[in-house]
Amino acid sequence: MRLLLVCPSWGRSCGIASYTQHLRTGLSACHVESDVAVSPKTIQKFLEDHDYDGILMQHEYGLYYFNLVSVLKTLEKAAIPLIITMHNTDHGSWMGGQHLFLFHTKGKIVVHSQAAKENLLKAEYHPKELSITLMPMGCPDYPATSDSLAEIRDEMGLPLDRFVVGFFGFAASHKRIPELIQALSYLPEVTGYIHATAHPVNPHAAGEIYRECGISRHSPDRNTAGNVILRHDPIPDEKFGRYMKAVDAIVLPYGHHGTSISTSMMAHEALASLRPVVTSNAIYFSDLQEEVLKLPDSHPQTIAEAIDTLRQHPELRDNLVAHASRYVKENAWPRIAERYLGLLAGS
C-alpha cells in the first residue's frame, strides 16, 4: 500500500510538517509506504510516477493562501480517496472563504478535538457532520537511553539536586512565557528551564520575552535570569524526548489567542515524555482531561501554586504520569495511522 501526503511546509520548521513526519513514521510501522508533496506541481509529478491507494492532505489556512484551488483541482482529478486533516478550524474572513472550496470535494474531514468540530460546524459553509471524524493528536515513542539523569542534566546545564520545571516549544506571545518566568521567581527552591525556540514566522518573539520581563539578553541561545535558564537554540529531534525526560514537570500556561481552534502537539509530546504536565484551560488543551493538571488561568501566582503543589506531592505527579501513560499508548502514532487507514478503507 502506498499513500500520498500533501504538506506545503514539508522540510521547514513547522508543527504541520512535524505532524506529517510523525504520521509517516506511524504508517511505516503499519508497512505502508508514503511520499510527501508540497505544491500542485509536485502533487502532479507524484501522481504521474506512482499509483496511490489514498491521499492525506494536511490543512492549515495559512499554508494554502494562494494555491488552495489549484491543489484541490489536482487532487480531484486523481479520483483517489482523500482525507483532509484540518489542524485548526476557523470561519472568519478569508479563512472561512476557504471552506467554499474545501468542502466541495468528496474528501473526508479529520479534526483533533470536539471543540474544533463544533467550531467548524458553526461556519456558514461547513461539511456534513457525518463526514467529520474526530482523530486525536498522536503521541511519539521516545527511545530509552542508557545515560543517567545526572549525565543528561549536566549536558543541559541543570543541577541534579533541584526540582526542575520545563517549558518546550516555539516562542510566541500567547504561550505566556513571561508569566511562567514570574511564577518561577516566587519559587527560589525551583529551577526553571525554558527552551523557547525562535519560530521562523516570528523570529523576534524570543526577544519580546526578555523585554516584557525586563531582563537582559547577553547570548542569542542561552541566558539566565535568577533561577531560570532560557534557551532558544533548536533542539535536535533525537534530543527532544531526552531533554523533556530530564525535568520534573512540564508547564504550558498558554492563553487564548485569536478565533482559531487547534490542538497542542507540544502537550502530546510532553505527555509522551511521561513527566507530569501542567496546562492552562485554553482551548489548545480541550482534548485532555485527567492526563494533565489544568490551571484555571495563566496568572503567575496560579502557575506558582500549581508548581509548588506538584513539587510537594509526589503522589499527584505519579497519578498524572499513570493517566498520561495510558493516553500515550492509546494514541501512539502507529495507532493513529491505523485509524487513517480505516477511514480510507471506508471511502
Which CATH number applies to 149-330? 3.40.50.2000
State the pLDDT at residue 108: 96
Express each pLDDT in 199-251 by its tens digit.
877 888 899 999 999 999 999 999 999 999 999 999 988 899 999 999 999 99
By percentage, how much of the chain surpasses pLDDT 90?
A: 86
> Which residues lie closer than 8 Å to 155 by C-beta, 6 or more apart?
none
Confidence at residue 144, expressed as pLDDT on a 0 to 100 scale: 86
Q: Reply yes or no on whether the pLDDT at 335 is more than 80.
A: yes
Q: What is the mean pLDDT of residues 182-204?
A: 92
β-pair partners for 197 = 170
Fold of 2-138+332-345: Rossmann fold (3.40.50)
- For residues 249-257, average pLDDT: 94
Query: What pLDDT score was predicted for residue 291?
Result: 97
Distance (Å, rounded) from C-alpha 183 to C-alpha 238? 30
Q: Are 347 and 81 in contact (CB under 8 A)?
A: yes
> Which is more confidently placed, 200 or 57?
57
DSSP readout, 171-226? --GGG-HHHHHHHHHT-TTEEEEEEEEPBTTBTTHHHHHHHHHT-----SSEEEET
For residue 255, name the pLDDT band (cuts at 50, 70, 90). Answer: very high
pLDDT, the chain, mean: 95
pLDDT in tens, 124-169: 899 999 999 999 999 999 988 889 999 999 999 999 999 999 999 9
Number of Cβ within 10 Å of residue 175's Cβ equals 26
pTM for the model: 0.93
How far is Cα 126 from Cα 58, in angstroms, rounded to an integer? 17
pLDDT bracket for residue 296 (50, 70, 90): very high
pLDDT of the residue at 191? 98
Res 94 pLDDT > 90: no
Residue type, 333: W
Q: Cell numbers for 318, please give them.
A: 505519579
How far apart are alpha carbons 170 and 186 in whole angstroms?
24
pLDDT band at 190 (very low <50, low <70, confident <90, very high): very high
Residue 65: alpha-carbon gap to chain centroid:
22
List where CATH 3.40.50.2000 sits in the chain: 2-138+332-345, 149-330
pLDDT band of residue 91 (cuts 50, 70, 90) is confident
- Render pLDDT for 27-50 as a digit per residue (tens, 0 to 9): 999 999 999 999 999 999 999 999
Residue located via cell numbers 514570574? 182
